[in-house]
Amino acid sequence: MDTDFIVKHLHSPTDAQVDHMVALADRAYGQNHPSQKAMVGGDWSLHPILLRAMLRAGALEDVIYVVMNKHTEEIVTVSLWFPPGRQLFSTDDQKALGFNDFMTKISPEAKKWWSTTYVTLLRDFRRDIFSDEEGTRRWWCPWFTTDPNFQQRGFGTALITTIYNKAALHGGFLGLMTDREVNVPKYLAMGFGIRGRINADAPTGDFPVICLTREH
């Protein structure tokens, strides 16, 4: 990675940084990201609202990790990494920071799909492919984006290396899911392996759910 850039655990982001990270991820995910499309019920005007809710929940849990330019402090890569035992939108305090409001805005169909079908599918999938013991060592990433203008410059890899080293200190490993085949070779290049794969049916279109882990 370019030496002008550093990986940073971002504590208490400013409002301007939150705005920047939401806009960055909205561009990076784009409108062809099938799981995000399903979660907003196909209404992309809601996507920044969802991203903001995720980020504010992540800030509350202090799990935001970024790559930034050390001179300008411009953030180019954004991720959330929950340590074992903690999850996105798993507490009322997290949900109060935008998620509850977001849920009142999506269509009843999208809300039903997300809160029943998708949640159950992911829970059962994870239970099938991870042991309980692994669950106590698994660091989980629900958000990973590099600004499209800065992709393929090693920023994602540098961030993953930092988080992996942090997790491995206590015997942990990294896990995430992706819904786009194009991401698989990127994660394989970052040292991940495929743990499992299923298909998700959504009103906005089916998509694959590919789980990858980095364990060494």
Instruction: Give the CB-side neighbour count of residue 146, counting CA atoms within 13 A.
Output: 20
203 touches ligand COA by CB under 6 A: no
115 touches ligand COA by CB under 6 A: no
156 touches ligand COA by CB under 6 A: yes
Distance (Å) of CA 71 to CA 3, 68, 164, 170: 11, 9, 25, 32
Alpha-carbon distance of 75 to 21, in angstroms, equals 7
Considering only residues 64, 106, 190, 200, which one is a binding residue for ligand COA as defined by CB under 6 A? 190
For the bound state, the minimum distance from the C-beta of residue 177 to ligand COA, rounded and expressed in Å, comes to 7
Considering only residues 107, 117, 151, 161, which one is a binding residue for ligand COA as defined by CB under 6 A? 151
Contacts with ligand COA: how many residues (CB under 6 A)? 22
Alpha-carbon distance of 212 to 2, in angstroms, equals 27
- 132 Cβ partners below 8 Å, 6+ apart? none
Choose the binding region for ligand COA from 36-44, 104-112, 126-134, 184-192 (rule: CB under 6 A): 184-192
65 touches ligand COA by CB under 6 A: no
145 touches ligand COA by CB under 6 A: yes
Q: Which residues bind ligand COA (CB under 6 A)?
A: 28-29, 77, 144-146, 151-157, 176, 178, 180, 182-183, 185-186, 189-190
